[in-house]
Amino acid sequence: MVGHVMLQDAAQTDLRAGILNMLCHCAGMEAGHSLLILTEPAGNIHYDPELAPAVAEVARTIGLRVRVRDLAHCPRATPPPPEVMQDMAQADLALFLTRRGDQLRFDPVLARTAPVMCYALDRAMMASRFGQADHRGFVALLDCLNAALAGARHIHVTCPLGTDFAGTGARFPETGGEVTVRRFPLSVFSPVPATGYGGKIAVAGFLTGTGKSRYTPYDLPLADVLHIRFEGTRITGFDGPDAVAARAHYAHVGATLGTAARHVHSWHAGMHPGCAYGSPAGANVERWGSGAFGNPRVLHFHTCGAVAPGEISLNVIDPTIRLDGVPVWEAGRLFPERVAGGAEILARHDGMAELFASPETDIGLAPSGRLSMRE
């Protein structure tokens, strides 16, 4: 019994630490500030229903004024109702514990309120190294990696299943191209525009949506590896046993949503080695897409639409990303010390070097070692 209580106490301490990291290090909240927590309606399991009450409880202990209200997921990425937007504008912070924030993560409508979109989907993720790792260290790492990508003359990406594409550095746009929310935990670098890149993308398990819109079918199971050829911003072909089905799926989604079906917008990879996803991806592919993408073992493309994030996500597992020949990501593991300034960031933030030295590896793969909707 004593051991059980101690374990509970330790878990509560870890959970509190993760929540404080989000509220203070990410959002800059202080006593007297007001917090609006936006949640999924009752009965939805995308987020742990006990996460919002835990956040509210911790927030009140540091003197925040807290209000909670529902904001349902929507078939299309439309702004919240006017009354919700008004509440967001009046609060010092709006916190999304709902997929609606992810739907609108690239939408300028949210830039005015600078909300936080939380990608720790349950109490376990919030209490883990994913939630507890100092957010300020990952802000510094994001800037460092973006600078390295932008400064590279040549970027080459491969993976064990046959991904092989390359381009002339990261041509980040001067304006736009990045999310309009503050992400917690911060776990991907800025999207690299597809312009100037070409090659093939190897995908296993399924094609799935980006979280922006709902359509049917949302996922396309794959019997084997699908190779997708592209040049710049256009998909030029599909190869493999599922090629016909993939072509039809892209055409269907494009026609359903009135978007450019074969457009390739951008790509980026995970940069947070504390991100872990313990359930099989195929058990809930949409939730997997919200919870696993921050691990360095996952790289994804935004496709099927000329506006980020597109409508179909292409997920590449265990990428090697070479910047001017240097494998900064190597077989799904990120080595920040291989870019200028990376070692200093690891040394400056407590526990960050240890986190990268022993990264989480569970990302919801099947026993076969691949993504799957069947295992």
pLDDT tens profile 40-80: 998 888 999 999 999 999 999 999 999 999 998 888 878 89
Whole-Å CA distances, 213 to 31, 84, 189: 37, 20, 23
Average pLDDT over residues 125-129: 97
Domain spanning 2-127, CATH class: alpha beta
Q: Does 4 score more than 70 pLDDT? A: no
pLDDT tens-digit readout, 8-24: 677 899 999 999 999 99
Q: Are 40 and 73 in contact, with CB atoms under 8 Å apart?
A: yes
Question: In this structure, what token pair is assigned to residue 105?
Answer: 């993560």
Q: Point out the least confidently predicted range of 29-33, 120-124, 306-310.
A: 306-310
Q: How confident is the model at residue 142 (pLDDT cuts 50, 70, 90)?
A: very high
Tokens 């936080």 appear where?
Answer: 116
Q: What is the mean pLDDT of residues 250-267?
A: 97
Mean pLDDT for all residues in the chain: 94
Measured CA to CA in angstroms, residue 135 lies from 85, 99, 191, 197, 350 at distances of 26, 21, 20, 31, 11
**Alpha carbon distance 154, 328 (integer Å):** 13
| Domain edges within the chain | 2-127, 134-357
Q: What is the pLDDT of residues 193-218, one digit of tens each?
A: 999 999 999 999 999 999 999 999 99
Rounded-to-5 percentages of helix, strand, coil across the chain:
30, 25, 45
| pLDDT for 253 beyond 80 | yes
Model confidence at 3: pLDDT above 80: no
Q: Which pTM value belongs to this model?
A: 0.94
Question: Residue 326 belongs to what H/E stretch?
Answer: strand 326-330
DSSP per-residue string spanning 58-116: HHHHTT-EEEEEE----SS--PPPHHHHHHHHHSSEEEEESHHHHHTTT-GGGTTT-PE
The type of residue at 351 is G
Chain segment 166-185, per-residue pLDDT in tens: 999 999 987 666 778 899 99
Residue 33 pLDDT exceeds 80: yes
Which tens digits make up the pLDDT trace of 68-111?
A: 999 988 888 788 999 999 999 999 999 999 999 888 888 888 88
Please state which of the ranges 42-51, 128-137, 227-236 shows the lowest mean pLDDT: 42-51
